[in-house]
Structure 1
Amino acid sequence: MKLDIIKGHGSGNDFFLVDEFTTGYSFTETERSELAKLLCNRETSLGADGVLYIMNSERADGKMRVFNADGSEASMCGNGLRLAARYLCESKGLDHAVVETMKADLKVSKYKELYPDIQTYQVEISPVLFDLKALPLNLPQPVLMNERIPQLSEELEFTAVAVPNPHLITLVDTVTLKSDTQKLLSEKVNGPNQLFPDGVNVSFVKVLQTGEIYVRTFERGVGFTNACGTAMSASSLVTCLQQLNQFETAIDVYNNGGKVKCIVHQQGKNYRIDLIGNATYLFNASVDVDFDKGAFAVLSKKDLAEQSSYNRLQSEVQEYLMANLEG
C-alpha cells in the first residue's frame, strides 16, 4: 500500500500525519496499530512518537485519532492536536475549527506566532476530570490532590487528573529532577501494578518563577518524550490550583523540546486549558507499506524549511533552562 505522509512536531513531540479525509485511504483497526508501530520504530529510516490519523467527522470540521509508537491508541494528544489543527485549517481554508477527538470535540485556531516564522496554533484541552475512576487510579478515595502515595514515594506529593489522558503530577526540586526517581517510578506505574491498571503519564514539574514552569514527562506507551501537550496543560492547572500561578493568565511552559504557553480557565468547579505552541512540518514522504511482511520502504522524501526557525527557539530555551533550572 502506497501512502503519502507528513512528519511534523509540536515541542519536539513528533508524529506522522496520515490523511484519511481527502485521500481515500482506508485501514482496519489492526492496520492502524501496525502502521504506527512500523513507521514510528526509530531503528528504521523514519521513526516518531506516534501517528495522527486525520479523518472526516459527522459533527466537526475533522477528526483526529492518535496511535502511539507501541500501537496503542491515546484518547488525546495536545501536541498532536496542534498539528492536526494546522492540517485541517490549511486544507479547508479556516482560521478556526472544531476537531473531534475520542472524548470531546475541541476548538482549535491559528494563533499569532509564538516565535518569528513559527506556525503557531491554540488548541483546547478538555474535559478536565479529577475523579480517580477516570484515570483509573485504584485508591480508596474519590480524588488525589497534592497527596502522598506511600506505595510510590514517602516524600513526593501527587495530583491525579485526566485531561482526558491520565496524568500523575508532582512538583519537585532540582535534586529530585536530576535523580532517577522519575524513571523508576514511571516504569513501575506503567508496568504490571495495582494502582494504575492502564498505566499513566508521569510528570515532574519544577516552578522556575511565577508564570514559568518546566515540565518533563514519561508518557505511557512511549517513555520519556521531548514534551507532552496534555501533561503541560495538566501541570499548568496543578500550579494554579496550588496558587503558584494564576488562572486566566498565560503561563510559559518550558520542556526539553522547546516552549509553549498555557492558559487555565476556571468556570466554577470546571476547568479547561488553552495550549498554545508550534505546529512545525519536517518533511513530506511517500512510503510503500506491506502489512503482511510488517515492513515498509521509503519511496521519496522531501525536507521542508520550517525547522530552522524552531531550532533558534529551541536553542534559546536550552540556554534559559541551563541558567534557571537550578535551586
Structure 2
Amino acid sequence: MQIELIKGHGSGNDFLIIDELTNGYSFSESERANLARLLCNRQSDLGADGILFVMKSDRARARMRVFNADGSEASMCGNGLRLVARVVCEQFGLTEAIIETMKANLKVSKQEDLIQDVQTYQVEISPVLFELKALPLNLNKPTLFNERIAELSEELRFTALAVPNPHLITIVETDQLQINIQRQLSEKVNGPNALFPDGVNVSFVKPLQTGSIYVRTFERGVGFTNACGTAMSASSVVSCLSGLNENEKVIDVYNNGGRVQCVVHEFEGKYSIDLIGNATYLYKASVMINLEDATFSLISREEFSEQETYKLLESEAGQFLEKML
C-alpha cells in the first residue's frame, strides 16, 4: 500500500498527518494502531509522537482521530488539532471550521501569526471535567484540587481534570523541575497501578510571571514530549483556579518546543479553553507500506521551509525561559 502523508508539529509535538478526505484511504482499527507503531518509530525514516487521521464526518467539516506512537488512541490532542485545522481550512478555503473529535465537535480558526510567517491556528479545548471518574482516578473523593496523593509524593500537591484526556497537574518550583521525580511518578501512574487504571498525562507547571507559565509534560502513550496541547490547556485552567492567572486573559504558555497562548473561559461553572499556536509543516512524503511484515520504505520526501521561521519563535521562547527558570 502506498500512502502520502505530511509531517508537521505544534510546539515541537510532531505528527504524521494522513488525509483520508482526498486520498480515499480506508483502514481497519488494527491497521490504524499498527501504522502508528510502525511509522512513528523514532528509529525509522519517519518517526513522530503520533498519527493524525483526517477523516470524513457526518456531523462536522471533518473528523480527527489520534493514535499515539504506541498504537493507543487518544481522545483529544490540542497540538494535533491545530494541524488538522490547517489541513481542513486550506483544503476547503476556510478561515474557521468545526472538527469532530472523540468526545466533542470543536471550533477551529485561522489566527494572526504568533510571529511573522508562522502559521497559527486557534482550537477549542472542551469539555473540561473535574470528576475523578472522568479520568478515571481511583480515590475515595469526587474531585482533587491542590491536594497530596500519598502514594505519589509527600511534598507535591496535585489537581486532576480531564479535557477530555486525563491530566494530573502540579505546580512546582524550579528545583523540582531539575530532579527526576516527574519521570518516576509518571512512569508509576502509567504502568500497572491502582490509582490510574488507564494511565494519565502528568504535567509539572512553573509560574514565570503574571500571564506566563512553563509546562513540562510526560504524555500517556508517548513519554516526555516537547509540548502537549491539552496539558497546556489544563495547566492554564489550574493556574487560574490557583489565582496565578485570570480567566478571559491571554496566558503565554512556554514549553520545551516553544510557546502557545491559552485563554480560559468559565460560564456557570463550566470551562473551556482557547489554545492558540503554530501549525508548522516539516515535509511531505510518500511511503510504501507492508503491514503484514510490519515494514515500510520511503519513496520520496520533500522538505518545507517553514521550520526555519518557526526556529525564531523557538529561540525567543528559549531565551525567555533561560532568564526565568
Which category describes the TM-score, using the shorter chain as reference length? over 0.9
Superposed counterparts of 1:238-317, under 5 Å: 238-317=238-317
Q: Who is 2:142 aligned against?
A: 142
Q: How many pairs were matched up?
A: 325
Answer yes or no: is 1:3 the counterpart of 2:7. Answer: no
Amino acid aligned to 1:279: A
Amino acid aligned to 2:117: D
Amino acid aligned to 1:297: S
1:256-309: CA deviations, max 9, x gaps?
A: 000000000010110000000000000000000000100000000000010001
Amino acid aligned to 1:117: D
Please give the secondary structure, in 2, of the residue aligned with 1:233: helix
Q: TM-score, normalised by structure 2?
A: 1.00
Q: Who is 1:204 aligned against?
A: 204
1:122-154: CA deviations, max 9, x gaps?
A: 000000000000000000000001111011011
Q: Distance in 1 between matches of 2:69 and 2:27?
A: 17
Q: Who is 2:115 aligned against?
A: 115
Superposed counterparts of 1:107-256, under 5 Å: 107-256=107-256
Deviates more, 1:311-320 or 1:232-241: 311-320
Answer yes or no: is 1:58 the counterpart of 2:62. Answer: no
Q: Who is 1:34 aligned against?
A: 34
Amino acid aligned to 1:131: E
Please give the secondary structure, in 1, of the residue aligned with 2:213: strand
Structure 1 position 21, deviation (Å): 1.3
Q: Distance in 2 between matches of 1:275 and 1:316?
A: 19
Please give the secondary structure, in 1, of the residue aligned with 2:282: strand
Please give the secondary structure, in 1, of the residue aligned with 2:8: strand
Structure 2's unaligned 5+ residue stretches are none
1:226-282: CA deviations, max 9, x gaps?
A: 000000000000000011100000000000000000000010110000000000000
Q: Distance in 2 between matches of 1:243 and 1:306?
A: 37
Amino acid aligned to 1:294: A
Please give the secondary structure, in 2, of the residue aligned with 1:139: coil
Q: Who is 1:71 aligned against?
A: 71
Structure 1's unaligned 5+ residue stretches are none
Structure 1 position 104, deviation (Å): 0.2
Percent identity over the alignment?
66
Structure 1 position 44, deviation (Å): 0.7
Structure 1 position 22, deviation (Å): 1.2
Amino acid aligned to 1:232: M
Q: Distance in 2 between matches of 1:269 and 1:313?
A: 35
Please give the secondary structure, in 2, of the residue aligned with 1:317: helix
Q: TM-score, normalised by structure 1?
A: 0.99
Please give the secondary structure, in 1, of the residue aligned with 2:314: helix
Amino acid aligned to 1:41: N
Answer yes or no: is 1:13 the counterpart of 2:13. Answer: yes
Amino acid aligned to 1:230: T
Please give the secondary structure, in 2, of the residue aligned with 1:230: helix
Q: Who is 1:99 aligned against?
A: 99
Answer yes or no: is 1:88 the counterpart of 2:69. Answer: no
Q: Distance in 1 between matches of 2:232 and 2:8?
A: 19
Amino acid aligned to 1:208: L
Amino acid aligned to 1:43: Q
Please give the secondary structure, in 2, of the residue aligned with 1:186: helix
Please give the secondary structure, in 2, of the residue aligned with 1:21: helix
